[in-house]
Structure 1
Amino acid sequence: MTDDGFFREVNEELRSDKMRAAWKRFGGLFIGAAVALVVGTGIFAFYEYWTEKQASKSGDEFLAALNLVRDGKNDEALKTLDDLEKNGYGAYPVLARMRAAGVQAQKGDPAAAVAAFDKVSADTAVPQSIRDLAKLRAALLLVDTGTYDDVASRVESLSNDGNPMRHSAREALGLAAWKAGRGGDAEKLFKQISDDQAAPANIRQFADTMLDMLRSTGAAPAAAAG
């Protein structure tokens, strides 16, 4: 055997010895890491499957509730929505709360509907955009059943320039002011909508109609809010 061959065999033996020693020392960790990787991948795959199934199940239940409402089966719809609120997945519980409040209004119980919307708007766990929408829905109901102050306490903060819900908030405030005999306030609010180029066309058209009516009936010069 040549010197080169001898040294090569020695090096290979040393590498083998080092590999065996390394395996004895770290083999368990390698196996653990491999198992963790496989288990982790399996858990992720299962979680992905589970979330898709849960979302699909909740979506089906929400659609079923909407169909019950469409068919006039409000009590059955409320039962389905209540179950979805308690056991639904993702955004469906809060959607169920909002729809259930709407069903209460359809059933002719605006007080229960307003209370339900108020509960959503006060829930800090709910996204702010949904909370604001709940305030607006409650205010629109209170245009008919409440006072101007009832409406204002819910949506006055939404009527500020730059708020994406300002047009609908001003519409609710304008209607409440008109109902309360505060024509000057109503005119101001509807004019804000009419002058806002960012307002949806249908809301601007309604505001223009209200302005024409207020001015033609002489309601606009009524005393301004104090």
Structure 2
Amino acid sequence: MSDDSFFREVSSELRQDKAKDLWKRFGPIMIGGAAAIVIATAAYVAWDHWSTNRANVSGDIYLQALSQAREGQTEEAKASLAQLEADGYGAYPVLARMRAATLLAQSGDYAGAIAGFDSVAADTSVPLSIREMARLRAALVLVDHGSYADVAQRVETLTSDTNTLRHSAREALALSAWGEGRFADAATLFTQITEDEATPLNLRRRAELMSELIRGSGSAS
């Protein structure tokens, strides 16, 4: 045997011994890590499947409630929404609360509707954007069934130049002010709406009409 062959065999045996030693030391860890990855992947897939199924079921119930409401099956719609509020998944329970309050308003229970919207607005577990929408919805009901102070209490903070709901909040305040004979306040709010470049076109037109009405009646002075 040549020296080169001898050294190659020795080197090979040393590598094998080192590999065996490394496997003894780290093999169980590697196996455990691989098993953990497999288990975690399986758990995620199972959770995703379960989550998707729950969301689909909740979505079906919500669509059913909307269909029942459209068809005039108010009590059935309320029952579907109550089920969704109790057992729904994801955002559907809070959507059910909002829709239930809307149904109350449509059926003439304005106090119940306002209480429903106020309940969502006060729930800190609900995303801020939905809470602000609930405040606006309550204010819109109060335009015809409450005072200017009631409306202002809910939406005055939504009228800031950076709030995305400012246009509708200003309109609610303006209409409420106009209804109470506070024509100067109403005119100021309608002007804010018309001068805001981001105001939606249909809302701008309503504000322009109301501004013309107030000016034409001489009530803003």
Pair in the same fold by TM > 0.5:
yes
Distance 1:45 1:84 in 2: 25
Mapped to 1, the partners of 2:122 and 2:29 lie a distance apart of 51
Distance 2:168 2:205 in 1: 13
In the TM superposition, residue 197 of structure 1 has moved relative to its aligned partner by 2.3
Q: How does 1:1-226 map to 2 (within 5 A)?
A: 1-221=1-221
Alpha-carbon distance between aligned partners in 1 of 2:60 and 2:19, rounded to the nearest angstrom: 57
How does the TM-score come out when normalised to structure 1?
A: 0.92
Amino acid at match of 1:10: V
4+ residue runs over 6 A deviation = none
| 1:79 Cα offset (Å) | 1.7
Structure 1 position 120, deviation (Å):
0.9
Percent of residue pairs bearing the same amino acid type: 54
In the superposition, the TM-score normalised over structure 2's length comes to 0.94
Q: Which moved more, 1:23-32 or 1:148-157?
A: 23-32
Aligned-partner residue type, residue 168 of structure 2: S
2: distance between equivalents of 1:197 and 1:7? Answer: 84
Residue 167 (structure 1) shift:
1.1
SS of equivalent residue, structure 1 residue 125? coil
C-alpha distance in 1, partners of 2:22/2:188?
A: 82
Quote the Cα distance in structure 2 between the aligned partners of 1:148 and 1:77. 32
| Corresponding pairs, count | 221
Shift of 1:75: 1.7
Letter of the 2:31 counterpart: I
Distance in 2 separating the partners of 1:34 and 1:195: 63
State the distance in 1 between where 2:8 and 2:86 align.
71
Q: Residue 200 of structure 1 aligns to which amino acid in structure 2?
A: P
Gaps of 5+ in 1: 222-226
31-40 vs 16-25, which deviates more?
A: 16-25
**Greater Cα shift, 152-161 or 82-91:** 82-91
1:141-167 Cα shifts (integer Å, max 9, x gaps): 001111110000001111122321111
CA drift of 1:217 comes to: 2.8
How far 1:131 sits from its partner (Å)? 1.0
Pairwise CA distance, 1:174: 0.9
CA distance in 2, matches of 1:26, 1:163: 57
Q: Distance in 2 between matches of 1:70 and 1:39?
A: 46
Give SS of 2:186's match: helix
**Counterpart of 1:104 in 2: which secondary structure?**
helix
The separation in 1 between residues aligned to 2:19 and 2:163, in whole angstroms, is 67
Structure 1 residue 53, shift from structure 2 partner: 1.8
Counterpart-to-counterpart distance in 2, 1:93 and 1:121: 14
Deviation at 1:81, TM superposition (A): 1.4
Per the TM alignment, residue 70 of structure 1 is displaced from its structure 2 partner at its CA by 0.7
Measure how far apart 1:135 and its partner are: 0.6
